[in-house]
Every structure is written in structure tokens, then in C-alpha cells.
Chain A
Amino acid sequence: MLLCAALLRQRYLAARRDWAGRLVYVVAAAAGAVLFACIALMSYAGAAYLRHAHAQALLVSIPAWAFLVYLFTDVFIAFGQALGDLYLAADVPVLLVMPLRTASIVVAKFVAGVVTNEVYVSAFLVPFVLGYLTGAAAAWWSYPLALLGVVVFPALLYAALASVTIVVLRYVRADKAKEVLWLCGAVVPTIFWVVSFWGVARANGDITTLQLPAAPSWLPSTWVGDLVAAGATHDVWPAVGWFAFLLATTVVACPVALAFIARGFLRGYSEAATNPPAVRRRAGHFGRSSALRALVRKDVRTFLRTPQLWFGHITALGFIAYLLVGHRAQTPILPLTVQLAMVQLGFVAMLAGLNPGMTALSLEHAAIWLLRSLPLSAADIVGDKLAVAWGQTAILVCAGGLALCYGYHFDAPHTLAVVVFGLLMAAVSVGCGLAFDATYPSFQWDNPNAINRGIRMVMPFLSSIAVLLACALVLGLARVALHGAAGVLVGLAASALLAAAVVRANVRRALQRVACLEP
């Protein structure tokens, strides 16, 4: 218990020190509040619309799917987190040599992990539940019950995911285990999603009879979803039943999982701590390069040799699959236009570019002193970071854009417009991310996927989303004012101007920050 409290306290203090600037706190809190309000409002609007349209079946089937989406996202995040918290965290060796029982270390780490997940839950699920229940005019008792269920949910999830991590470590070498876990986390949900929604796409009929296919009943996300849905339909006993079931499972599952993890912990730890075997590479010949090219080559090599960095891109590509499937279902509500496809790809590009951008400098890790002590200008450094982050995103945007347009049966000029817009949005999010990373770099991390934990994500995300929405508005206005190709062209040109201005401002800020960086 004491250890739990000590670890939590230390993590809280560390988070506070990361955000030492007062202003940052205020801005981050405001950004968080905006996100919370947006999710709540959208859920409210959606639920209220469906209620007035008497689409009861659809309304009731939504929560289970919403929680399922969260579960999939969490699967992706939590595998890495479990591995990072339990095995790769810098404090584990210190804790292990202290006279502490392994079980208490595992429990303390587990609690700390669950608490981190609760933060995500309160940012994404709580506003959804509140908005949904209000929109669906749910009974009063459903609010506390649903919120309690939502709070219990992550513990169960994390217990399961941490156990899977331990099992994987037993059969897969530690240096490969990370990649295997992240790959599972990305591929399994994508396939599941595509297979499930294929059914919806074929479902014909009007909105009052439409409903999502039943979510798998063995998943805890479905239990929480049904709990929330029971609130919407004023069925008190099913709601209480689901809650009791969820709670009972958690109370049983967590200790069992913890005992299991504690048993395999020491062995897993020594495996995870083993360095990957030395990789022998050809000495190669030397050529003369400019400083910028040398920097780019270094960062490309690092990217290619660090599989953790690829998985963000794999998820982004998974999004394309979601879109292709989803579009068949949403056609009656939202007509598929070139502009819509542009915004869709723009969104994927934005998501894909965010992480490379906002980790570009932090990836230098403890070796950042080198960039500052070598005769390299800030322009060289920022230029390199932009090129590498945008370059990797651009490859993904081109591949994803071609796939999307092929699936949508677009012709070549339209495909070009979609891809160009995607590339612009990638530049915007890379620029926003880089400026942010140059202002608040984080050179102390245990694994590269941990750089962006928590609140760090929110600000560049919101600023790029704002640019995307502005561009979407411009595209829409241009479409209404000038039909056809002219509308597309004018909208694209206006978006390009906007994007250029945003990128320029962010690059300036990054240049200033890099020039006075004190590692």
C-alpha cells in the first residue's frame, strides 16, 4: 500500500514538474476542457437525434460499440504501457534491489498503470457517457451506475492486457516481444472492425430499423455498453445486473492476474533487460555529405531500426480500412464527395504526422548534447526533423490516399487532389508537433512510445484539428460557391495557403526554441 502511494505520488510530482510552467497548465486544462465538452456535446446531439427519430435499436446498440472502440484503442496503448511500466521502467531495478516482495512491486505498478488509464477514461469515456445518457433522456439512477461502471472498466482491461504481456514474454524474446504486442494491438482490432462492419454496410432500410451488429458478449466493453444502454431504456434491473457482473469479474480477475504476473515477473524482467544481440553491419564506404544530409541519414537509420516507431503508421493505415468500410454505411447520411475524401485523408494524415512531429527532437534522447555541441545550425536541425517526420508521413499518406481513392472509384485528378490535401495536412501536424516538441522536449524516457503519454498529446492535436476544420470549411464553401473542378481547385489552393502560414509560424517557433535549447 505504502509503495503504491509512493509510486503514485512520485509519478504525480514528475508530471507536475514536466508541466512546471503555469501557463502551460492553464492552456492544457483549457484544451482538455474543450475536448471534454466536444465529446459530450457530440454524444448528446447524436443520442438526441436518434431518440427523436425513434431509432431505438440503433440508439441501444451504440454504447457497446463505443466502448469497443475505446477498448481497441486501449489495447494498442496498454500493451506498450504494461511492458513499459512493468519491465522497461527506469525505477524497476532500484525497486528490485530493495527489500520488497515482488508481489508488492507488481501491485504498485499495476495500480499506477490503472490510474493512468483512468485519466484517459475520464477524458474520453466520461463525457461520452454523460452526453449519451442526457441525449437519450435516461433515468437519473443510470448516471452514478454508469460512471461507476466506467471507472471499474480499465482495471479489468489492464489486468487482462498485462497478463497477455507476461504470456507473450514467456514465448517471445523480449526484444521482439514489444513489436509482437504492438502488432497484435494494431492488426487484431482492425481485422475485427472490418469483419464486423461489413455486415452493417449491407444492411438496407431506414434509420428506425437499422442497428449495429451485436458486439461480442464476452468482451467487458459490451458489459459496460449494455449497462449504459439499460440506463437509456430505463431498465433498472439489467443495469444493476451488468454492474454487479462487471464488479464481481474485476474483483476476481485482478487478484488472479496479479498473482500470475508476480509469479512470472522476475524471469520476464531478466529477459526484458537483456540487450538485443549485437547487430553486425558492413563498415561501408564513406562519402562526403552536408550536415543536413548526415542528420537525415542518421534519423532515417534510427527510424528503420526502431520498430516501435512504425506502429503509429500501421494504426493510421488501419484507419483507411475503417474509412473504406465505414463509407458504405454512412453514404445515405453523408454524400461522398471529393471534398469529404480530402478531409478524411487529411484526418488520417494529421494523426499519422502528429507523433513523428512531436517526438522528433525528443527522440534524440540523452544524446541531444551532441546536436548542440557539434557545429550544426538550428536550421540544419529543424530542417532535418521536418524532412524526416514529414517524409515518413508522406509515404503513408500517398499509400493510404491511393488505396482510399481506388476504393472510392475516383479518377486520377481527384485522387491527386485528395493526396495533395493529405500531404498538406501532414505538414501542418508535423509542424505543430515539432514546434511543441521544441518548446517542451522530453529527453528522459524509457521507450519511445512513452514520450507522448498523457496530456502532451492534447495541444498539438487540437491545434492541428483546428487547422483541418478550417480547411474543411474552406473546401465546403468553395464547393458550394463554384461547382466541379473549380471548386476543388480553389478550395485546395486556399487550404495550401492556410497550411503554409501555419507551417511557417511553427517552423519559426521551432527554430527559436532549438537555438536556445539547454539539454
Chain B
Amino acid sequence: MPQVLIEVDRLTKSFGATKAVDGISFEVYAGEIFGFLGPNGAGKTTTIKILTGLLTPTSGRARLGGFDVVRQPLAAKRILGYVPDEPNVYQKLTAVEFLDFVGDAYGMSARQKALRIGELLALFGLDGAAGDLLGSYSHGMKQKVLLCAAFLHDPKIYILDEPTVGLDPRSARLLKTLLREVTARGGAVFMSTHIMEIAQSLCDRVAIINRGRIAAAGSVLELQRLSGERTLEDVFLGLTDGVTGTGMAAAARGPLPETP
């Protein structure tokens, strides 16, 4: 049995009256890429923010590598690489200064930093702009800097919130390769995405979350077999009160809704 690296147990988060996350539980094992799918506002980002220590859960527990994210936040964060959904960075630092700062926060040595920063910037094709202020970077370039920051200290656990949004095809491919290498070395990846193709081709297992609850979880094949749908997209639409292919056709045949 592989080691459990991410453990989520009956996690709940309420914002006032809305339950953004409603008692979800799942586990992510070493060596796997776990996809987190769900419609807009389903609670993906909220879950991820709890896992990374940005939000405190209303109830329930989350552990990274055995460390409780609420009780042992520093230990949990040390083995974590995180890329948020929006690439907000320090506008007044250059890419190199930014990565240097992140390296220091993880307690990396000078040699390690020099080696890794050069390597990652070159890998993502940022070495030409490494000395520019991040404020002058494009959306995708900032995203790449954050990917560099997440890979910098070679963590065991990666948590990525829609990491491919804004990346060009070459960088998206590079990211997939890097994530595969991570799992080959025994790491775990937890990523949210809206792109079914990525989920289908990259993820070993997926969970579909809808209105804060997990509607289904398992490997893509299992989900297809269970629901009897042909593609992951059909499974997704069927489970998240979206209209499936056949349903759409029926809706199209019906009378047009009245416009106000």
C-alpha cells in the first residue's frame, strides 16, 4: 500500500450561510496525480486554500505528509509546493529576487538556490527576462514564475489550482512532463482543472465536486464504467446537474424559454 500524502477528513468550510465545502473526504497517495473537477463555484479553490493553510476549516481535518495543516502548519508547508489560481506576485521584485526570497523561506542553501533557480528559469524559457521586474511580466509569464517557485525546493506534495490556465501549449506540455517525473520519484500531485482532456490523459484518479460535496471519485475508467457514459465530459455533466449530450438534444427540441 503506498503512503498517504494528502489526507482530507470530513472537511467543511462555511462563509456565513454558504457552505463552500461540505464534509468532503479523500486521500491522495504517493506516486499519483489526483484531479479535482467541478463546475464554477463548486468549492475547489476553497478546498485548496484550506490544504495550503490560507483558510482555516470550519470543521474537519486535513493532513499533508502526516502533518495537520492547522496544528503543524510550518511542517506541512515545508513539504508543499503551491500554485494559486491567480498569479499574484510581488510587482517590485525581479524573477530572480523573487525565487531567491522563496528559497530563503524554505531554508535552502545558497548553492541549492543558485543551481535550482538557473535550471528552472531556463527550463521555462524565462532566463531572458530573469532580471526584469515581475510587474512587467505577462499573465502567463507570472504563472511560470510561480511554477518555478513551486518546484524550487523539490517538495513531496504539489497542490495546483488550474495550473494550465494562461500557459502556452509548450509550457503546458512541459508542466505535464514535470508532474509525471514528480510522481515517478514518489511525490503526489493534487490539481484542480476544468480541462477534461488534461484530467483524462494526466490524472490517475479524479474526484468530481459539486456544491461542496464529492459526487464521485475514482480512476477515469472506473467512473466511466459506473455511470455508463462514454467520455469523462459526459460523466462530469451527468454528475454536476449539467445537461448531458442527450439531455441537450431534448432541451433543444423543446419550446424556447420565454424572454422577459
Task: Choose among A277, A291, A298 the residue with the greatest number of B CB atoms under 10 Å from its CB.
Answer: A298
Tell whether A327 is near chain B: CB-to-CB under 8 Å.
no
A289 touching B104 in the complex, CB below 8 Å, given contacts A298-B90, A365-B88:
yes
Q: B136 and A276: CB pair below 8 A?
A: yes
The answer to whether A306 touches B92 (Cβ under 8 A) is yes
Please name the residue on chain A nearest to B100 by beta carbon. A286
Q: Is A374 a contact of B114 with CB atoms below 8 Å?
A: no
Task: Give the interface SS of chain B, mostly helix, strand, loop or mixed.
Answer: mixed
| Size of interface on A: residues with Cβ below 8 Å to B | 40
Q: Could you give, for residues 506-519 of chain A, a 1 whenever the CB lies within 8 Å of some chain B CB and a 0 otherwise? A: 00000000001011
Are A372 and B54 closer than 8 Å at their CB atoms?
A: yes
Residue in B82, B108, B110 whose CB lies within 8 Å of A373: B82
Is B93 touching A519 in the complex (CB atoms < 8 A)?
Answer: no
- Contact string against B for A residues 290-308, beta-carbon threshold 8 Å, 1 for contact and 0 otherwise: 1101110110011001100
Instruction: Name the residue on B nearest A371 (C-beta).
Output: B105
The contact of A287 among B78, B97, B110, B131, by CB within 8 Å, is: B110
Does B52 make an interface contact (CB < 8 A)?
Answer: yes
Which residues 48-73 of B sit at the A interface, judged by CB distance below 8 A?
Answer: 52-56, 73
B77 within 8 A of A: yes
Known A298-B93, A374-B77; judge A367-B136 contact (CB<8 A): no
Separation of A446 and B15 alpha carbons in the complex (Å): 26
Chain A 478-501 against B: per-residue CB contact (8 Å), 1 yes, 0 no?
A: 000000000000000000000000
Asked whether A332 is an interface residue with its Cβ less than 8 Å from the other chain, the reply is no
Partner of B105 from A275, A278, A291, A365 at Cβ < 8 Å: A291
**B92 and A301 contacting across the interface, CB-CB below 8 Å:** yes
**A396-417 contact mask (Cβ, 8 Å, vs B): 1 or 0:** 0000000000000000000000
On whether the beta carbons of A276 and B113 are closer than 8 Å, the reply is: no
The answer for the CA separation of A297 and B109 in the assembled complex, in Å, is 17
Q: Which residues of A contact B168 (CB under 8 A)?
A: none
Taking CB atoms, residues of chain A closer than 8 Å to B78 are: 375
Residue of A nearest to B99 (CB): A286
How would residues 367 to 393 of chain A score, 1 for a CB under 8 Å from any chain B CB and 0 otherwise?
Answer: 101101111110000000000000000
Given contacts A302-B92, A366-B88, A375-B73, 9 further A-B contacts (CB under 8 A): A286-B110, A291-B105, A367-B88, A373-B80, A373-B84, A375-B106, A376-B74, A376-B105, A518-B55
20 contacts between A and B (CB under 8 A): A275-B136, A276-B135, A279-B132, A281-B94, A281-B97, A283-B131, A284-B96, A284-B97, A286-B100, A294-B105, A305-B92, A370-B90, A373-B52, A373-B54, A374-B77, A375-B106, A375-B107, A376-B105, A518-B54, A518-B56
CB-based closest 4 A-B pairs: A294-B104, A366-B88, A375-B77, A278-B132
